[in-house]
Amino acid sequence: MLLRYYYDEKLAHASYLVGCQAKGEAVVVDPMRNIAPYIETAEEEGLKIVGALETHIHADFVSGSRELADRFDTKLYISDEGDADWKYQNIDHLNYQLLKDGDSFMIGNLVFDVLHTPGHTPESISFLLTDKGGVADEPMGIFTGDFVFVGDIGRPDLLEKAAGIEGTSETGAKVMYHSVERFKQLPDHLQVWPAHGAGSACGKALGAVPSSTVGYEKRFNWAMQFNDQASFVDALLEGQPEPPKYFAVMKHVNKVGIQLIKDIPALSVMTDVKDVEALIAEGTLVIDARDVEEFAKGHLKGTINVPFNKSFTNWMGWIVDYKQPFYMLIDETDLDEILVALRSIGIDNLAGYGQVATILNQSDALEAYETVTVNELHAMIEEDKVQVIDVRNLTEYNDGHIAGAKHIMLGTLQDRLNEVSSDKQVVVQCETGFRSAIGTSILQANGIEQPLSLEGGYVAWANHAPASV
């Protein structure tokens, strides 16, 4: 048996290729939309990709199952649990098998047994894997999807917070309790292969270790330590982070399907700064993907800064309108990686791009913005000359914040501009200064005069100023 692990750091998403070398067949569990890494492994190992397994309808990335089906005519193994709202659609043209609790199927000498493990979503299933190519007659591991992570479990509130289905958070938490109790009955030696790691918004305390065992999670996973449902529900719902706005889009995309990557229109290439300025004047979103320090020194008026780093995909999902074309100013050497990142969450409406250095060199009227130190901000607060905007998550804000600071989580800032003062100096603040830089660019692009970003964020403030709560 062959088991390979793939990890997208920008999404904290894990997927797996499982192959039977004796039969030359392989499947991919919870595949990402960029299927090139799976193809490369299969070719190197002499395997044919014959299937794609999905643990549930994902909310945080575009599944690559339909890309695999188009490329290899693979079979789609998907859940048939949950009610009518949680059934896959537009799959009649595909080769697929619907799965319920207790079902099993084989790929070569590999046996996959299906467990219904609802709570994160109603249709969630897990796959127990047994390698019968040798003498084993018991499972060696379990693909848990977003059910059990290393050190955490899947959040049950996404249907309510991201998909808008009221009253489902507590119901999902109660169902999750029973799924966890069932998990505790599994053999301790089973390996646990989850779909996410640290940084994912599908839980609140995910570990950075790729895999675990049932026995280890039973001993040390916080969610495994409860013996009554009520306490479990309260603990599970408490402190869950704000789900990214794009999660609702992903649920729909993975349920009904999305256009294939090969069908996405080609990008236009901008070489003249006047073309970019015309787009901005028309109200078209233009993203500058440089580092925050470079953007702060000089940028085109009206552009928003979303640096191309590990957080890029998350913030683009918050900021981009999926229904409107937008453009980017980038380093062209990053183009392929940027496209993979955007398409991983279904942002297929990038209409064009420009080489950022080429475009900026043509302008003699670049904007900039300044930062402010803790001491400077403290003086401004004393003189009542400032509005502090805290763009961190609500849990961070509740743990401690600058007295009087208004909380507007970064991802919602564009929708709450009316709450930003027009007659005071505005200072944007986050934990360390990165998110506040993005927030400052959003305010500046929307006409807020000379917004400032707090150097070092709340960490610096808490270490040097007493005026916090």
Q: For residues 387 and 360, is the Cβ–Cβ distance under 8 A?
A: no
184 within a domain of the structure (yes/no): yes
404 within a domain of the structure (yes/no): yes
Nearest to 29 by CA among 258, 203, 194: 194
pLDDT at 163: 66
Residues lower than pLDDT 50 in the chain: 467
Q: Are residues 38 and 61 in the same domain?
A: yes
pLDDT at 46: 98
154 within a domain of the structure (yes/no): yes
User: Which among 334, 360, 386 is the end of a domain?
Assistant: 360
270 within a domain of the structure (yes/no): yes
289 within a domain of the structure (yes/no): yes
Q: Are residues 236 and 277 in the same domain?
A: no
Q: Are residues 323 and 435 in the same domain?
A: no
**CB count in 10 Å sphere of residue 66:** 23
User: Which among 360, 394, 423 is the end of a domain?
Assistant: 360
Q: Are residues 140 and 252 in the same domain?
A: yes
Q: Are residues 175 and 110 in the same domain?
A: yes
User: Which among 256, 281, 315 is the end of a domain?
Assistant: 256
Q: Are residues 382 and 303 in the same domain?
A: no
pLDDT at 245: 84
pLDDT at 162: 67
CA distances from 57 to 54, 79, 273 (A): 7, 9, 42
469 within a domain of the structure (yes/no): no
Query: Residues, the chain, total?
Result: 469
Q: Is the whole model's pTM more than 0.85, yes or no? A: yes
Sequence-ordered list of residues with C-beta below 8 angstroms from that of 444, at least 6 positions apart, any chain: 367, 369, 450, 451
Over residues 183-217, the pLDDT tens digits come to: 999 999 999 999 999 988 888 889 889 999 999 99
Q: Containing domain of residue 387, as a range?
A: 370-464
pLDDT at 166: 72
CATH of the domain at 324: 3.40.250.10
Tell me whether strands 13-20 and 2-8 are parallel, antiparallel or unpaired. Answer: antiparallel
Q: Are residues 374 and 248 in the same domain?
A: no
Structural tokens at position 155: 């959040």
**CB count in 10 Å sphere of residue 448:** 17
pLDDT at 243: 85
CATH of the domain at 217: 3.60.15.10
**Rounded Cα distance, 125 and 142, in Å:** 11
Nearest to 341 by CA among 365, 373, 323, 317: 317
Q: Are residues 63 and 192 in the same domain?
A: yes
3-state secondary structure the chain: CEEEEEEECCCCEEEEEEEECCCCEEEEECCECCCHHHHHHHHHHCCEEEEEECCCCCCCCCECHHHHHHHHCCEEEEECCCCHHHCCCCCCCCEEEEECCCCEEEECCEEEEEEECCCCCCCCEEEEEEECCCCCCCCCEEEEECCEECCEECCCCHHHHCCCCCCHHHHHHHHHHHHHHHHCCCCCCCEEEECECCCCCCCCCCCCCCCEEHHHHHHHCHHHCCCCHHHHHHHHHCCCCCCCCCHHHHHHHHHHCCCCHHHCCCCEEECCHHHHHHHHHCCCCEEECCCHHHHHHCECCCCEECCCCCCHHHHHHHHCCCCCCEEEEECHHHHHHHHHHHHHCCCCCEEEEEEHHHHHCCCCCCECCEEECHHHHHHHHHCCCEEEEECCCHHHHHHCCECCCEECCHHHHHHHHHHCCCCCEEEEECCCCHHHHHHHHHHHHCCCCCCEEECCHHHHHHHHCCCEC
Q: Are residues 241 and 341 in the same domain?
A: no
Identity of residue 303 = T
Identity of residue 11 = L
Q: Are residues 237 and 279 in the same domain?
A: no
365 within a domain of the structure (yes/no): no
**Rounded Cα distance, 457 and 106, in Å:** 53
Give the total number of structural domains in the chain.
3
Q: Are residues 394 and 456 in the same domain?
A: yes
Q: Are residues 216 and 279 in the same domain?
A: no
Over residues 38-71, the pLDDT tens digits come to: 999 999 999 999 999 999 999 999 999 999 999 9
**Rounded Cα distance, 178 and 122, in Å:** 13
